[in-house]
Each structure stands twice: as structure tokens, then as C-alpha cells.
């Protein structure tokens, strides 16, 4: 597979100027599996608008190295890694954190509450909406007609963009899945 190696996708040195070489177990202090689990836990934390607000309030989004780390973490959006993500909203927020507008807005507690409320409404109604859409689709297929483009498609845009499923929801045993190692993060020579 082009652009990937045994350790996963490798960031280009030009993209991450602070990365000069691969960080091994001696530099990181943990094995590839531990790093995979730690990075997955961080990605899961990003599903919490309160945590995003805390990061903004504590000026993490003003730190160039932290923003580079968020860029590096985008590999979690690739299917071979996304299948391990339990909270798909975290992948959408991971993508949104690359935009300065979202980083500025999430610092506002009122905006954080708006995002949290929209997230809750998605969780509350997502299954019912999918069931209703499936029923409408089956009825339309049985009648030989096509459902209208707008029928049953009223979901919030942020949540709809956060496509992804928990491994068990996709009919996959999470324990049986083979975990790919995380990409090698490179560091500046000390």
C-alpha cells in the first residue's frame, strides 16, 4: 500500500517540521500497543464537547506542536483505524479541530452547550431515524417508486458527517479484530 509502512502511515517531514526521526520505544516509554491504546483514548476524549472546551480554555489550540499532533492524529479517520473508535463523533471533531473557526468557537461555553445538545439529540433520535428511513425505503421499493430526497433526512449536519460505527454494531467482534500498530511519530533529535 503506497504511503504506508509496517507502523502505519508515515507523516511527511515537511508537514511536521518538528518531526525529524522516528520515535522508538525508548523515546516514548511505551510499546506500540500501549501507544495505540493511549492515542485511541485521546481520540475518544475528543467526542466530549466539554473536553474540547477545556482544551480551548487552557490554550492548547494556540500551541503549534499540539496542532501538529492533531494533524498527526488524523490517521484515525482511515478505515483500518476508525473501526476501533467507539464514539464516531470524535472523528468528526478531530477533523473540525483543524479549522481555526471551530477552535475559536468551542472556547465559548454557550457554543460548547449547543454542540453538546445537538450531539445528544443525534444520539436520542439516530436509531429511530435510521429505522424510519429504512421502512420508507422498503415501502418505496415495494411500490416501485423512489423516496424523495428530503424524506426522513432531517438529521443534524455535524452528526451526519460523523459516519462510523462501533465494531460490535457493525457485526464485528471487537476482541477478534486485529489492531494495526499506530503510525510511528517522529521527534526532533535531542
Mean pLDDT over 160-175 rounds to 39
Q: Which long-range contacts (CB under 8 A, 24 or more apart) does 34-43 make?
A: 35/182, 35/185, 36/179, 36/181, 36/182, 39/73, 39/76, 39/182, 40/76, 40/84, 40/85, 42/73, 43/73, 43/76, 43/85, 43/90, 43/91, 43/94
User: Which has the minimum average pLDDT: 70-74, 104-108, 174-178?
Assistant: 174-178
In whole angstroms, what is the distance from residue 41 CA to residue 20 CA?
25
Report which of residues 75 and 26 the model is more confident about: 75
Q: What is the pLDDT of residues 22-61, one digit of tens each?
A: 567 777 788 888 989 999 999 999 999 999 999 999 999 9
Domains along the chain with CATH numbers: 9-109+183-187 (1.10.10.1340)
Mean pLDDT over 126-146 rounds to 83
pTM for the structure as a whole: 0.58
Amino acid at each position: 500500500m503506497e504511503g504506508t509502512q509496517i507502523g502505519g502511515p508515515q507523516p511527511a517531514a515537511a508537514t511536521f517540521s518538528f518531526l525529524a526521526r522516528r520515535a522508538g520505544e525508548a523515546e516514548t516509554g511505551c510499546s506500540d500497543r500501549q501507544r495505540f491504546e493511549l492515542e485511541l483514548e485521546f481520540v475518544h476524549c475528543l467526542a466530549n464537547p466539554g473536553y474540547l472546551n477545556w482544551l480551548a480554555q487552557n490554550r492548547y489550540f494556540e500551541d503549534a506542536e499540539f496542532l501538529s499532533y492533531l494533524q498527526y492524529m488524523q490517521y484515525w479517520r482511515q478505515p483500518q483505524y476508525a473501526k476501533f473508535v467507539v464514539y464516531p463523533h470524535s472523528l468528526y471533531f478531530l477533523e473540525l479541530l483543524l479549522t481555526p473557526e471551530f477552535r475559536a468557537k468551542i472556547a465559548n461555553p454557550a457554543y460548547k452547550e449547543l454542540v453538546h445538545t445537538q450531539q445528544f439529540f443525534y444520539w436520542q433520535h439516530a436509531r429511530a431515524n435510521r429505522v424510519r428511513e429504512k421502512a420508507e425505503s422498503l415501502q418505496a421499493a415495494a411500490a416501485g417508486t423512489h423516496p424523495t430526497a428530503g424524506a426522513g433526512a432531517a438529521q443534524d449536519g455535524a452528526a451526519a458527517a460523523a459516519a462510523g460505527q462501533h465494531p460490535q454494531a457493525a457485526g464485528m467482534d471487537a476482541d477478534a479484530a486485529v489492531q494495526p500498530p499506530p503510525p510511528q511519530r517522529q521527534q526532533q533529535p535531542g
